[in-house]
Amino acid sequence: MMEHIRLPKVERVQLADRSSSRRAQVGTLYLTAFHTIFVDNEVHNELWVLHSLVCNVEKLSITSCGYPLLIRCKNFQVIQLLIPKENDCNDVFVSLLRLSRTERYEELYCFSFMPNVDKAARGQAWDFLNLKAEYNRMGVSNKLWHTTSVNREYRVCDTYPADLYVPKSASLPVIVGSSRFRSKGRFPTLSYYYRETQAVICRSSQPLSGFSARCLEDEQMLEAIMKSNPGSRFMYVVDTRPKLNAMANRATGKGYENEDNYTNIKFQFIGIENIHVMRNSQQKLIEVSDLPSPSMGEFLLGLETSDWLKHIKSILAAGTFIAKAVAEEGVSVLVHCSDGWDRTTQVCSLASVLLDPFYRTLKGLMVLIEKDWVSFGHKFSHRYGHVVEEPKEASPVIDQFLECVWQLMEQFPCAFEYNERFLISIYNHVHSCHYGNFICNSEKERKDLGIREKTHSLWPHLWKNKVDFVNPLFRADHSQTKGVLQPLTTPYCFKFWRGLYNHFDRGLHPRQSVLDSLMAIKEETQQLEEVLTIYQQKLAGVGREQANDLFVKKHGMKNSQGLWAEPTHIRLANSPQDYNGGNLVSGPKDLLPQQRKTNLDLSLFGDTSESSDPDNSDQESEGADFSCHSCSGGASPPSEDSVKDPDSDDPAFNNA
Amino acid sequence: MTMEFSEHIKTANVDDVVLKLPLRPALKGTLCVTAHHLVFSERKEEGSYQLLLLLRSVDAIEKSVENLLGYPQYPSAGPGQRMTGLSGSSGTIVIKCKDLRILQFDIPGMEECLNVASSIEALSSLESVTELYPFFHRPRELSLSEPWGLSSPQQQYAQTERLWDRWRLSKVNRNFSVCMSYPRTVIVPCAIDDITLAKAASFRQGGRFPVLCYYHRSNGMVIMRSSQPMTGANRKRCREDELLLQAAIDESEMGYIIDTRSAQQAQQARMAGGGFESKAFYHHWRRLHRHLERGKVLQESLIKLVEACGDPSQNMDRWLSKLENSKWLSHVHSALSTAGLVAECVERDGHSVLVHGFEGTDTTLLVTSLAQLILDPASRTFRGFLQLLEREWVQAGHPFRQRCAHSAHSHARLRQECPAFLLLLDATWQLGRQFPLALEFSEVLLLRLAQDAYASDYGTFLCSSEQERCALQVKENTHCLFQFLLRREEREKYVNPLYEATDLAIWPSVHPQSLQLWTGLFLRWTEYAQTMDEAREEIWTIVKERKETDRPKGCAHTTLSRHDSFTNVENLMDELTVL
């Protein structure tokens, strides 16, 4: 990648603070193979941005101080640079354009990311999650379901995993026959087994039914699935597409199941829109979240016209329908859309989150994503633009899943072991290409590329930092935690996800964190309990010194904050907004000296060597500017100085 | 007086009534109408449910009756069931409360239903203040001789020594003759004598001359409030008013007037005799205009929002456009950003501020009290917040009686209703969301206040001014809500478990992304609120666990008392015997 860097270093670059009227920082800009780095001259703050996270670079019109460059990132960070010389600006622009457009997988950061671990440890890290164990946990294999070797070597379906679970009663010819009748060979296979009712969620792609085609094996396959649930005499087939889209597919020889041809199925459309509609909708949402100083009306109107929450609601409603069918009615469900790797994945995994408390734990969500998304061939590299591809392939599919989970977390604050930061970290890593987990579009591609051997796995890294991702309100025995979640899908339950879309606009977030405060309290309780235990032992005549040690620990523990910890004290975390539109006479607001000294660490994904912790990126550093875009004073003229004084005998006012 | 109440009660008891409450299975029992309450008791031996509803909290009542003559009688074998000529008929009463709860009673017997409905209608809208329940509420643990209210301007003044060299306590309004809606004593600049004050008052609408409401210790700047000056179309001026404002600041200083009207509105107000401080006569004051809606516009906004929250449709577009259309969040936004501006003038730029709009009894108070919450750590404590409300709303003459006569469900023609106080509570909630450790009280207190402002067992929110309270002897004959809430066992229900005092100003973000619908209030009676309550309980559990490990010897925790509900029932028994 080095050859694409036209200019490795530019001096006297200004980093504008878009979110406040604060003076820009002056510093040096470096371009490396994988990062853009800005180092502040005065206090040596560093800002690191991975090239793979850059979504576009824009040259803005020239100003009196230099040539502005706008870098927009996939994680919604926006960076505005001001470069003194036109040539330099152009060189940086051209270099960044190229550096952020990876052409081959091998150029991605994950192939160069070399943390200090040996080969064996790397292999172990990849074995951190075990899907076979996960199916066992669910309760398969059992007397009705078993694993099939039909897709070993990916012979039947190259976008499916090698290990699949099917009804025992489905013979090999039935499976193969069914796969020939399904788009991309994605035949119906088990996604989730619900032990309590023995009902299952199966997934597939659309049948190649056209206007009248039939396939005996496919019909037998569905019947086998239906009969493998002894508790029910029928099953649901859920097509997650809008009916119109599904009908249009018939003209191209695809389509949906005809209820008359299949035994005891109930067919149902759930109108979730396609990837193109979703892409456009998110684009509109991002524009709304990026408005410089919107009024409440503009914001809500923008939110409405983006249709984003409507889509989120439709996905959550689909998940709820399936979870209800499986848990309450005890009826199995086959879910598909067109290819069965976007909407199907969203809906199956969401239903699983609703059904199974395990998926509401840290490890459970990792397993779920590994199973439903990674192994079942969700096209990560296409959808999230890892390498240069047709832009029409990109779509915020997993964004929507993560957001649905977030909406559920908002509705059930005690039901999830993980917190919002966990979701945002996963979101970042889906785009960052820092780890190998989400590279490529299928298990087969990953195997062919040697992802396991050449890159590292994200999950153990997240697990290691789990203290940052834990929801203090979660308690395994809480009534919200147990059993099936039954979310409301009333529109008022859906909110704009500020934590993701305005993640970097610090001024918009609560200035104190309930989460951190509770975590600190819990930690304190735990340590006090330890002290207590030690004292009890001491009473029994053991370990005096040990007790003293722990006592010291108790009093010094305020310092032991995790990576994400924010100061609970608001001294530095808070400054007034511009409530006035800059009309007060006071000069530029000086920062407190402490604010000057502290390190502004906006670094996105750290250095490749020691401190390469991507989650540091989101650390709330104390010195950051917490004020945000100026708020408009509304439609009325803000001050008598900016308009004609109503006192003066101005004819305009006399006419009023 | 009891005769008057009983005149309204034609049917006091009805059996076999079915009660449908939000989030509960239907219950069957006896409905009883008393002078001030609607009582429903489930007919069950054990653990029976009792509902005690203050009639004053009924905002709207909708009744429908059906004559099912000829159909089999409503199956029941309850003793004491009266046979009426209309057996076989039935009726339904839907009660929409001022706290936004909706209840439904299915009543056997058309006549009973109509009687109950007309009793509720009459008794929920009693005109005379002294007939209201606070005048009858006599819980055993409270005594009428206890102090009413938390503090007075005298106490406030006495406690702030640094005020003494420039500010004085004036009793110019001791007879309420200078300003009907001010308390007897107010804090004004030392340099201004009572005669000057009285003249300045005559130049301000309703006599509300500029008075001090907040002193900022760190730099000695103040916030004052008043009503608009009555300059009128001829640009009248008033030397005394000018002197008063000049005396509030030093020669060299500059003060800010935050006018809660748009410049255009202020201009137009002159045609109606009102106006604004002209720069030519108030040299040291700069005026900024911030348009805050008030009165009918706010009330309609509340009605639209509540309507949107109750919309049964599942349509996202419809919800978002209704939410937008209600403009409620825009009003929250304006209130917070104007208060932020005032606080910024005082704290960051070191200027004193005068706030007023038209009458100075609504948006003015909203802005001054929010600015104090932002600036003053003392007002963020439990007691301090109640004192703030007492000072800035109760004593300062917010006309609760008119503003809170009806809430969002009422079918009555709008008169002077306006949810300015609710807007304050909402904006305070937003502050609490953004600074979850900074307020000593929790959302539960805000909800309680939202409820009591509209209908209460206590006298605190009765009447519209101190003068009215004195005339009706409210303080002698009712209990004080604030005093009650501060009792130890009550207080515990309303404190914020995460509170950590901070001396700093808390500057709210006023971005649309940072402001949220107050689900705790507007979705209070939905499942949504239930899971939030559970989360709140969980926070308490975590905090208590720490406290308990901290005190292993185990100073036992005071258990939350059921005192209030007990006394309610006791009280009710008294009421029943009176009848």
Read off the pLDDT of residues B349-406 as tens digits, 9 standing for 90 and up: 899 999 999 999 999 999 999 999 999 999 999 999 999 999 999 999 999 999 999 9
pLDDT value at residue B44: 75
Neighbours of A37 (CB within 10 A): 18
* Residue B167, Ramachandran bin (φ over 0: left; ψ between -120 and 50: alpha; else beta): beta
pLDDT value at residue A200: 96
Q: Give dist(CA B299, CA B296) in Å, integer.
A: 5
Which of A472, A577, A639 comes nearest B340 by C-beta?
A577
SS (H, E, C) A333-361: EEEECCCCCCHHHHHHHHHHHHHCHHHHC
Question: B314 to chain A: which residues are within 8 Å by CB?
Answer: 489-491
Mark out the alpha helices in B249-315 (DSSP H runs).
Answer: 263-269, 295-309
Cβ separation A300–B329 shorter than 8 A: yes
Q: Name the pLDDT band for B554 (thresholds 50, 70, 90).
A: very low
Residue B341 contacts residue A580 (beta carbons within 8 Å): yes
Question: A475 to chain B: which residues are within 8 Å by CB?
Answer: 538
B564, amino acid identity: D
pLDDT in tens, B437-468: 999 999 999 999 999 999 999 999 999 999 99
**Which of A337-346, B84-93, B538-547 is modeled with the greatest confidence?**
A337-346
pLDDT value at residue A574: 59
Cβ separation B279–A635 shorter than 8 A: no
Which of A310, A505, A589 comes nearest B348 by C-beta?
A589
Please indicate if any CB of chain B lies within 8 Å of the CB of A266: no
Q: Which residues of chain A have pLDDT under 50?
A: 547, 550-573, 582-656
pLDDT value at residue A21: 56
Sheet arrangement for strand B211-215: B211-215, B222-225, B352-356, B255-259, B285-289
pLDDT value at residue A348: 97
Question: B341 to chain A: which residues are within 8 Å by CB?
Answer: 579-580
- ipTM exceeds 0.95, yes or no: no
Measure the CA angle with vertex B552, ends B550 and B556; round to 5°. Answer: 95
Please indicate if any CB of chain B lies within 8 Å of the CB of A271: no
Average pLDDT, chain B: 87
What is B543-558 written as a DSSP string?
HHHHHHHHSTT--PPP
Beta bridge partners of B92: B64, B106
Q: What is the dihedral of CA B337, B338, B339, B344, to 10 degrees?
A: 80
Distance from CA of A507 to the nearest CA of B (A): 7
Q: Searching chain A, which residue's CA lies closest to the CA of residue B337? A: A579
Question: What SS3 state is found at B169?
Answer: strand
Question: Which residues of chain A from 468 to 487 reach within 8 Å of chain B, CB to CB?
Answer: 472-473, 475, 478-480
pLDDT value at residue A340: 93
Element (H, E) at A71: strand A67-73
Token readout for B27 is: 């219950």
Q: Searching chain A, which residue's CA lies closest to the CA of residue B499? A: A517
DSSP code, position B72: P
Q: At what angle do helices B328-347 and A296-306 cross, to 10 degrees?
A: 140
Question: How far does CA A325 lie from the centroid of its chain?
Answer: 27
Measure the CA angle with vertex A295, ends A293 and A297; round to 5°. Answer: 145
Q: Searching chain A, which residue's CA lies closest to the CA of residue B231? A: A647
Neighbours of B573 (CB within 10 A): 10
DSSP code, position A61: P
Question: How far does CA B399 lie from the centroid of its chain?
Answer: 11
Question: Which residues of chain A from 564 to 623 reach within 8 Å of chain B, CB to CB?
Answer: 568-571, 574-577, 579-580, 583-586, 589
Give me the total of CB pairs closer than 8 Å, taking one residue from chain A and one from chain B: 237
Token readout for B443 is: 């959302």
Neighbours of A515 (CB within 10 A): 21
pLDDT value at residue A296: 94
Closest alpha carbon to A424 in A615, A240, A219, A624: A615
Residue B440 contacts residue B496 (beta carbons within 8 Å): yes
A291, amino acid identity: L
Q: Searching chain B, which residue's CA lies closest to the CA of residue A629? A: B511
pLDDT value at residue A562: 38
pLDDT value at residue A655: 33
Q: Give dist(CA A553, CA B199) in Å, integer.
A: 67
How many Cα neighbours within 13 Å face the side chain of B92?
7
pLDDT value at residue A410: 94
User: Would residue A337 show up in a list of annotated catalytic residues for this protein?
Assistant: yes
Measure the CA angle with vertex B347, ends B343 and B353; round to 5°. Answer: 55
Cβ separation A304–B338 shorter than 8 A: no
Distance from CA of A266 to the nearest CA of B (A): 24
Residue A242 CB partners (closer than 8 Å, separation 6+): A269, A271, A272, A273
How many Cα neighbours within 13 Å face the side chain of B530?
11
User: What are the b/e assignments for B325-345, b being 16+ CB within 10 Å?
Assistant: bbbbbbbbbbbbbbbbbbbbb
Question: B274 to chain A: which residues are within 8 Å by CB?
Answer: none
pLDDT value at residue A493: 93
Which of A313, A522, A569 comes nearest B502 by C-beta?
A569
Which of B268, B276, B502 comes nearest A570 by C-beta?
B502
- B222-225 and B352-356 as β-strands: parallel, antiparallel, unpaired? parallel
pLDDT value at residue A615: 40
Q: Give dist(CA A408, CA A495) in Å, integer.
A: 11
pLDDT at B518 over 90: yes
- B27-33 and B285-289 as β-strands: parallel, antiparallel, unpaired? unpaired
Query: What is the arithmetic mean of pLDDT over B122-141?
Result: 90
Which of B324, B513, B552 comes nearest A289 by C-beta?
B513
Q: Between 3.40.50.720, 2.30.29.30, 2.60.40.10, 3.20.20.240, what CATH number should domain B3-126 receive?
A: 2.30.29.30
DSSP code, position B141: T
Distance from CA of B513 to the nearest CA of A (A): 6
* Domain boundary assignment for chain B: 3-126, 153-501+521-525, 530-579
Question: B259 to chain A: which residues are within 8 Å by CB?
Answer: none
Measured CA distances, B358 to B9, B139, B274, B372, B404 (Å) = 43, 40, 8, 21, 19
> Rg of the Cα trace of chain B?
26
Q: Give dist(CA A356, CA A344) in Å, integer.
A: 18
**Which stretch of A62-71, B183-192, B328-337 has the lowest confidence by average pLDDT?**
A62-71
Measured CA distances, A366 to A51, A109, A372, A456, A459 (Å) = 26, 22, 10, 15, 7
User: What are the b/e assignments for A435-473, b being 16+ CB within 10 Å?
Assistant: bbbbbbbbbbbbeebebbeebbbbbbbbeebeebbbbbb
Q: Which residue out of A110, A215, A337, A348 is catalytically annotated?
A: A337
pLDDT value at residue A645: 38
The better pLDDT of the pair B10, B57 is held by B57
Please indicate if any CB of chain B lies within 8 Å of the CB of A279: no
pLDDT value at residue B496: 93
Q: Give dist(CA A480, CA B176) in Å, integer.
A: 57
pLDDT value at residue B316: 93
Q: Searching chain A, which residue's CA lies closest to the CA of residue B340? A: A579
Q: Give dist(CA A140, CA A131) in Å, integer.
A: 11
Cβ separation B280–A647 shorter than 8 A: yes
Cβ separation A495–B516 shorter than 8 A: yes
